[in-house]
Amino acid sequence: MSEESRKRGWRAQARGGKRARRERALCTGMQGVLITCNMNAQRCTAEAYSLLGEYGDRLYGPEELGDPQSSNSDEEQDEDDVEAALKKEVMQLQGSNKKRKRRFQAVDSGANNVVFIQTHHVDPEKLVHHILQDIYQTKKKKSRVILRMLPVSGTCRAFPEDMEKYLSSYLEPWFKAPNHASYQINFKARNSSHNKRDDVIKALAGLVAKLNPENKVDLTDPELTIIVEIIKSVCCVSVVRDYTLFRKYNLQEVTREPANENQRAAKSKAEPTADEARPEHKKEVVEAGSEQKEAGQNIEEKEGGTDGEKETEAVAQGNGSKEAEPE
């Protein structure tokens, strides 16, 4: 499939997104990619299809679609046979269902400025990390309206008891002994009032600590980030790497160089080095200066004493000569 034909297919699928959203909505049991945008969900959906399709083909090869017209020639010749006709119809229905089950399919997220792309036979965390890693390395801008792209590898009902039961087993591959890691929790709730941020984070941190006490919270540069996104009554979760490095998985920010890089470089030159900042180093400098100062004073005193001695000897010799003359 050529690049242009693939893009036309994604655009057509995005234009039909309204009908798809009416038919399907985000629910438990789904996997996919949660994408935030700014007031242009239709264009965001088209960009998401194009971007996911491009990198999906790289990782998993071109998408293969079922052909609902495929059938045996023997059955076509025997259309008068009722049994064969029914069998043919069943196969066509199965083929059409297979065709509609695309690798990426937009569904109604249930929130404004949020697009959810359901995935099939794809690891969302691996795919999104691959996209961000490539953009981070190349600094090539891939989208205009997409802001953040978050993988969703698990979903459950967004109620405390359901979340605790689901997450206690979901988090085991990363945090259960002997595995352990530093982590942080990123929580966001949309159109949901029955989950308080502090309560969810506290309960989730307790689950992680129960899996292995060696798991430690790190809000500066954690190894893993637990993402919890609640939309209405659905809780979307994932565990991702390089969350800080990839600017919170923001496609707009990850293409930019660090702000004020030149200023920070100049400031680092002006600041003392680690050795110069050591108290021992400062003490050595002061002691060296004192020794140099004392040495200078000793030289001056020594030179002054020599001149005095010469002058005294000259006067003594002069007096001696004067006193010797009368004699």
Mean pLDDT of the chain: 79
The yes-or-no verdict on residue 262 having pLDDT over 60 is no
pLDDT at 75: 44
CA 70 vs CA 67, 77, 187, 273, 308: distances in Å: 6, 14, 47, 73, 120
User: Are 71 and 92 in contact, with CB atoms under 8 Å apart?
Assistant: yes
State both tokens at 130: 């691959």
Q: Give, as one character, the DSSP assignment of residue 257.
A: P
Helix (H, G, I), strand (E, B) or coil at 236: strand
* CA distance between the termini of the chain: 130
Strand partners, 187: 228
Return the sign of the alpha-carbon dihedral for residues 193, 198, 199, 202: positive
Mean pLDDT of the 60-74 span: 63
The per-residue pLDDT for range 270-279, each reduced to its tens digit, is 455 555 555 5
Which among 71, 63, 123 has a CA at the least distance from the CA of 92? 71
Question: pLDDT over 70 for what percent of the chain?
Answer: 63
State both tokens at 305: 């004493």
Q: Which residue has the tokens 């110069």?
A: 276
DSSP string, 124-158: HHHHHHHHHHHHHHH-----SSEEEEEEE-EEEES
In whole angstroms, give the CA distance from residue 159 to residue 148.
25
Q: State the pTM of this model.
A: 0.67
State both tokens at 17: 């997104």
pLDDT at 109: 95
The arrangement of strands across the sheet holding 146-152 comes to 104-107, 114-119, 32-37, 146-152
Q: What is the dihedral of CA 17, 19, 23, 29, to 10 degrees?
A: 0
- Domains of the chain with bracketed CATH: 32-61+101-257 (3.30.2300.10)
64 pLDDT band, cuts 50/70/90, is confident
Which helix (H) or strand (E) segment holds residue 184: the answer is: strand 182-190
CA 34 vs CA 86, 106, 206, 246: distances in Å: 41, 10, 26, 16
The yes-or-no verdict on residue 171 having pLDDT over 80 is yes
Q: Which residue has the tokens 């995005």?
A: 14
1 pLDDT band, cuts 50/70/90, is low
Around 204, how many Cα atoms within 13 Å sit in the side-chain half-sphere?
27
Which helix (H) or strand (E) segment holds residue 59: the answer is: helix 41-60
